[in-house]
Amino acid sequence: MINKNSRIFIAGHNGMVGSAIFKKLISKGYKKIITATKKKLNLIDQKSTFNFLKKKKPDFVILAAAKVGGILANKNFKDKFIYENLQIQNNVIHGSHLASVKNLFLLGSSCIYPKLCKQPMKEKYLLTGELEKTNDAYSIAKIAGLKMCEFYSHVHKINYKTLMPPNLYGPNDNYDLNNSHFYPALLKKIYDAKKNNKKFLNVWGTGKARRELMFVEDFADAVIYFMKKKISQPYINIGTGKDYTIDWYANFLMKKMNAKLTIKYDRSKPDGMPKKCLDISIAKKYGYRPVNNFDRGFETTFKFFESITN
């Protein structure tokens, strides 16, 4: 059973999700958290990863490391997205097994579900339809990792599970417009437009695509909550269970930032999946209660954004 003295390795502790989990664990009194920077440990390197895991022998591994990006990056660098994510997952999952690690969480993504998936998206809808073309390389890698955890758990009688979050946002997010996700991209565009006295906000697609969004600190709380649960399913959705249009998010951010802009939608650019909302009924059966405070999430995120911008 995981306790405050358990050795917990967070792969990807400097990323948005990994850093949020790291801070939550520290604040909750977990004393033996194992981390390694990219310079110290390249998870794409099999030998280094295997040796690291054998040496550290963690009780629990949280695999938060991944190559991530928005529509443009996913579309333009499919080779890197599938190769690097498969390598990281294979090395950490198999390396953990070789090091006799009994517990592992792979952090998945809601984009693994079919493009035209029935809504809200239940776990059983996985692999029932064609994937969204703009992020299929990333999705295929994540599905492979999910199945790897499922098969290793079954064959070796270990506890390797996958938690599937929706779109996440928060401190340590990526604001590079060439490879960021929609929320940080909107935030930066609105900030820049206001700063430069622009009248218009250019947004990709139609604005009608719907997205479920979760504050990364709330997701980190959920990860720690499920670390203490005996999960029978190979993978479960963790989210808020609510979604809104891109247009809604753009207007929410403009209001928060006191920016009066006219939105221009670039319909030549893709929307991505038309709708992405997770069914979280299985998570709720374990006593999980979703949190979705956009105001608190925005304030914390914007404070971080200003700290790296000014």
- Which residues are marked as active site? 138
Cβ-based burial of 162 (10 A; exposed 0-12, middle 13-18, buried ≥19): buried
DSSP letters spanning 244-273: EEHHHHHHHHHHHTT---EEEEETTS---S
CB-based contact 143:126 (threshold 8 Å): yes
In angstroms, rounded to a whole number, what is the distance separating the alpha carbons of residues 142 and 164?
Answer: 10
Dig out the tokens for 13 from the structure. 């502790």
In angstroms, rounded to a whole number, what is the distance separating the alpha carbons of residues 118 and 141?
Answer: 22
In angstroms, rounded to a whole number, what is the distance separating the alpha carbons of residues 151 and 183?
Answer: 35
SS3 state of residue 7: strand
Q: CA nearest 293: which of 217, 236, 223, 220?
A: 217
The CB-side HSE value for 284 (13 A sphere, CA atoms) comes to 11
How far is C-alpha 40 from the chain's CA centre? Answer: 23
- Outline where the chain has alpha helix (H): 16-27, 46-56, 71-76, 78-98, 136-156, 182-195, 216-227, 246-256, 281-285, 294-309
